[in-house]
Amino acid sequence: MKKHFIYASLLFASLNVRAAEVLTANKIEQSVKEAISITINIKSGTKLVAGALVKVSHDGMTIGAGTSDASGNVSISIPTYGKQLVRIDVTHSLYRDDKLTDVVLENGKQYLFNLKSKTADAETVTTKSEETVNKINDKTQTAESTAEKKAQDAAEAAKRQEAAKAETERLQKEKENIAKSADQTAKDAEAKKKEAEAKLAAAEASKKSQADQMAADQAKREADQKQREAELAAKKKDLEEKQLQDAKNDAKASEKDAKEAQKQQEDKIKEAEQKAKASEEAAKDQQKAAEQKQKEAEQRAKEEKEAAKEQEKLQKEQEKAKKEAEKAQKEADKAAKEAEKQAKEAAKAQKEADKAASQMEKINEEQSKIDKSREKLKEEQQKIDKDITKGKDLDKLKTKQAKLDVAHAKLDEAQSKLDKKRKKAIE
């Protein structure tokens, strides 16, 4: 029993001194703490905001929370407060988050927040819908007047018929020549593109393999480091969790109320959006009827000038064919340039991968040296732990332990520098 006590005393000597200092500070702080109550008022412009979640926190720990009512107010009581700096956060699904930081609370004081909206309310949705309906009605009237003008345009098109015949024959020959050239260019570009993709895939696979190995090594080293720190952190974590639990329970309840209030507001907006959509659909139906009337007028004009219209249609098809052929040529040229660019990038990536592989080989050699040194330190630690359990030469063992900690720190520093080299090598 005595040996275990001596062992624990040696390992946690520095921790006990710190705990004594914290305990003394807590006693002084508790002597000036008092219960306070504050009010938070939340608006958006001139509109009161209900259902907003308010959290008051100190050093990441929630010490008070609540949800705003229909008047935009929420009262929060804090049973013990010692004039420490706090942060006030306000959140709502329909508004942008807001906060106050480094605030010293005053008992009975009201704190004001004016949130900025990030979604439209029901009234705004309805107004926008009415504007959309009016625009559709204007388009409907325009379509009716356009029908008469279309008939006049058909008569003028007949005058261009004769000139279109000769141009049609010329465009047909030009289209055939461009199509042949574009087809050959496209085939060449596809071949270059496939070659570039293969090189790029090989380079990416090599880079990913090195990144995966680095991640695995880093995870193992982090796990070892966490294991060394876990024993000292366990007691501190238990104390903090007990202090935080009560505050978290209150915050969760307030957050649930806020979400429910915000959901009700979102449902109202969805209902307004559905009504607006129905109005817009009705206006669109009227527009379709006007467009149908316009189409009937165009059909009558088309029947009267069938010969002229047919020739004009042929001319447009030939012009379209020419544009498509020219477009195909441009796309083929673009594809060829892109394939050449990808091939250069793949070659560059391969060169960088080879360079990274060489660097990684040197880094792995350095890593091996660090790992061997770490294993030796583990063996020395096991010897010290064994001697401590015997309870002999504790002063000497304490000195050895300090030297061993310094050695671990040096290895950690060397490991950090090596990790930076490794990360830079595979970027």
3-state helix, strand, coil in the chain (%, to 5): 75, 15, 10
Sign of CA dihedral 411, 413, 415, 417: negative
Give me the CATH number covering residue 47.
Answer: 2.60.40.10
Torsion of CA 274, 280, 283, 287, to 10 degrees: -130
What's the pLDDT tens digit per position in 370-425?
999 989 888 989 888 888 888 777 888 888 888 889 998 988 999 998 888 888 87
For residues 72 and 153, membership in a common domain is answered with no
Report CA 327 to chain centroid distance, whole Å: 38
- Same domain flag for 1 and 66: no
Quick one: tokens of 189? 């570009």
Q: Which residues contact 67 (CB under 8 A, 6 or more apart)?
A: 51, 52, 53, 54, 74, 254, 257, 258, 261
pLDDT band at 25 (very low <50, low <70, confident <90, very high): very low
Pair 115, 131 in one domain: no
* 58 beta partners: 61
Please tell me whether residues 18 and 98 are part of one structural domain: no
Confidence band of 241 (pLDDT split at 50, 70, 90): low
Domain that holds residue 112: 32-119
Question: 146 and 109: one domain?
Answer: no
Q: Which of 85, 119, 153 is the last residue of a domain?
A: 119
* 232 shares a domain with 375: yes
User: Are residues 112 and 227 located together in one domain of the fold?
Assistant: no
Same domain, 241 and 381: yes
**Claim to verify: residue 292 and residue 368 sit in the same structural domain:** yes
Note whether 3 and 130 are same-domain residues. no
Residue that is last in its domain, among 119, 154, 184:
119
Higher pLDDT among residues 189 and 104, named by residue: 104
Distance between CA 68 and CA 41 in Å, rounded? 8
Select from 411, 25, 91 the least CA-distant residue to 262. Answer: 91
**Which band of pLDDT confidence, cut at 50, 70 and 90, is reported for residue 11?**
very low
Q: Does 253 share its domain with 315?
A: yes
Q: Which of the listed residues 65, 84, 119 is the one where a domain comes to its end?
A: 119
Give me the mean pLDDT over the 263-289 stretch: 82
Let me know: does 51 contact 262? Beta carbons within 8 Å: yes
Residue 25, exposed/middle/buried by CB under 10 A (0-12, 13-18, 19+)? exposed
Number of domains making up the chain: 3
Supply the pLDDT for residue 247: 64
In contact, 415 and 221? CB cutoff 8 Å: yes
- Indicate if the pLDDT at residue 211 is higher than 80: no
| pLDDT score of 74 | 96
56 and 172 housed in the same domain: no
Residue whose C-alpha is closest to residue 22's, from 243, 287, 175, 179: 243
Say how many residues make up the chain: 427
